[in-house]
Amino acid sequence: MRYIALLGSPRKDGNTAALLASFLEGAASKGHSGELIRLHEKKILPCAGCNACKTEGKCILSDDMTALYPLVEEAEVIVHAFPVYWWSMSAQTKLFQDRLYAMDYTHFKGKQLFLLTTYGGEDPNSGPRLCEQSFRDICEFLDMQFRDCIGVCSGTTPVRDNKRALERAFLAGASI
């Protein structure tokens, strides 16, 4: 299967990147391939709320999102990986997600979604649960399949040292 993996963290080698890398290793172990997009490296403007995408068929903004739309359309699996900031998704993820409004929603039907989140502090923590519920609602609205959510607290142990979390991410990637 073909995936698009979206790293919504500004840290290329941080906790979220480690979790995503393990997921992608699992996917590769079963022959799946796709694109890894580091959202922090992309220039994605906020949605202008102008509705031109709905009346004229495409977004009027000219930025890196233009090249990402076809990758989303082609992917059978969308993997969102981001740190939870202030009980929500990162700004990089939010910008990307908001701009999906411009797409024809029929392109999402049947796609699978995996959610990988990391967060500081300690458990229990309501931030990951709130993010998961947002994406479950999005999947229901778009007729997508919400496959799995892996939330890892990195408050005491960095993800790269959390063998249990890395194994769970690997197995989730292999399950695509």
Gap between the Cα atoms of 38 and 92, Å rounded: 9
Residue 14 has pLDDT above 80, yes or no: yes
**Cis bond upstream, residue 158 (ω within 30):** no
Pick 87 or 6 by higher pLDDT.
6
Residue 143 has pLDDT above 90, yes or no: yes
The reported pLDDT for the residue numbered 155 is: 86
The reported pLDDT for the residue numbered 127 is: 85
Residue 138 has pLDDT above 90, yes or no: yes
Gap between the Cα atoms of 10 and 16, Å rounded: 10
Percent of the chain with pLDDT over 90: 92
Q: Averaged over 155-174, what is the pLDDT?
A: 96
Q: List, in sequence order, every residue forming a beta bridge with 118; answer none if it has no partner.
A: 83, 152
Rounding to the nearest 10 degrees, give the CA dihedral for residues 73, 109, 104, 40.
-50
The reported pLDDT for the residue numbered 126 is: 85
Q: What's the pTM?
A: 0.95
- Which secondary structure element, helix H or strand E, spans residue 2, and what is its range? strand 2-7
